Structure 1
């Protein structure tokens, strides 16, 4: 789908004077333009209707009617970004908003946490011969790496993969007893869902940490749904990733308790090497 608004914003400096006049009118009030006839828009921009038609065709639209359809679609998809709500500009106010958002998100996700699913996921991971962690995109990639870091310290054989083709290949070649754990903030990652489906074809257990009732969730055997409200301030990074990180930490500690002595022995060996080769004492975290 052609993003008319995005195209106008990125290309306006290369437009003619008449095209820039039309662009300014469209970007300043999309709703009003959607109600205008070609004659109305031409009159407001002080150009002729044929100029409006040529403008529409330059943007890849067949006609003015097609332009308005695509403009309406573009407005619907990115409505929050056309007229963003004013947010804080003072650093202290920004910091306060970020911290408050993180705290609220973590508590909100905790209140809705599925403890039964968490327990089943932990038992499944503790009994796995091998774990594959799948994610893609920004936060989900980070989460796949995070669960790899949490689990290898417990002595679990684990590897993360961020490439969808590689995920398919690893799912197809994984040994018996492998468990796949997948992350998706949106739950709408069709390629990740396909990788999980392939894993299921080969009898692998699949855990998904994602939005409930989503495409990715439907492809898993065990789903730990994560709930949060997204920001209204589009400039503030999503607090959702902190809810996912908290979920990973809860899952990791639960796995550690299920593994017991072997996990503690693995962590002790890691700590020994860190104390001897880096820290000099036992007070630092278990790695950076």
Structure 2
């Protein structure tokens, strides 16, 4: 358990003097990281031995051990120690979410590399099989959405969010196939391994990721998305909206590239939905 988890677990059990030390750490982290035991004791109006007992209560061997572990928490990010959303009002939250989604789409449009998109579409249109890879909460969703968008166009496609399966699918793929990878961070080492294997086997690769990242460096075609998220840890990432929009752009262009095939497949799918679910043609194609 990390230092702040220990502090949260023990806070209700602290004595008044120890509680003052805890408040300093939570409210003035920079001071706590740099302060000596005497400075921290003076600020909390306690004795140095009280500071030492406080440190041991949190599972530290000494004040020095406490300082080292406290400094390490900075690597996690200060925004997680004292998260402060601008507002928790429902109307404000709704406005922030929608505004961030709109901004993500506008920024995507501004930075979109159309030539790279066209290369990716050409690869997909001519592919015998498409493998969509992504892991984690967002990229696994993107991989599944790629499958969802492409199969209805008559494209042979499968998605995988499992690292081992991705590596096995890559090893079994053929040069006429194509692999599409998604990684919001661009630091998915397992995806990089699959991409490098694909390169060795002569299998074209496309990635949706950050510019200059390890995932981008390992791929043939990069559909770059570079967006800033801000500091609100409670707001879902708006970058995923841009990823889904890019998937829609690619899928639409693929549909135009295989128009006759796509129209036939879409009609067969719609026929089954009308027959077994909707009764007419007014509903969307699938849920």
Structure 2 partner of 1:185 = 184
What 5-or-longer segments of structure 1 have no aligned partner? none
Q: Distance in 1 between matches of 2:66 and 2:261?
A: 64
Deviation at 1:244, TM superposition (A): 0.4
Q: Write the distance in 2 (CA, Å) between the matches of 1:125 and 1:272.
A: 26
Give 1:1-288 correspondences, 5 Å limit.
3-13=2-12, 19-57=18-56, 59=58, 61=60, 63-288=62-287
Task: State how many pairs are aligned.
Answer: 287
- What CA distance in whole angstroms lies between the structure 1 residues aligned with 2:113 and 2:59? 48
Kept after mapping to 1: 8 A contact 2:10/2:58: no
Per-residue CA deviations over 1:4-46 (Å, capped at 9, x if unaligned) read 3344234544667665443332112111212321122234445
How far does the alpha carbon of each residue in 1:49-75 deviate from its partner, in whole angstroms, 9 at most, with x for none?
344345445545554334323323313
Q: Secondary structure at the match of 1:89?
A: coil
How far apart are the structure 2 equivalents of 1:11 and 1:186?
Answer: 35
Higher deviation after alignment, 264-273 or 62-71? 62-71
TM-score, normalised to structure 1, is 0.90
How far apart, CA to CA, are the structure 1 residues paired with 2:17 and 2:171?
Answer: 57
Does the aligned pair in 1 maintain the 2:186–2:216 contact within 8 Å?
A: yes
Q: For residues 61 and 255 of structure 1, what CA distance do their matches in structure 2 show?
A: 58
Q: Any idea what SS the aligned residue of 2:245 has? A: helix
Residue pair 1:231, 1:238 contacting (<8 A) in 2 also = no
**RMSD of aligned residue pairs (Cα, Å):** 2.2
**Ranges in structure 2 where 5+ consecutive residues have no aligned partner:** none
Please say which of residues 24-33 and 13-22 is displaced more in the overlay.
Answer: 13-22
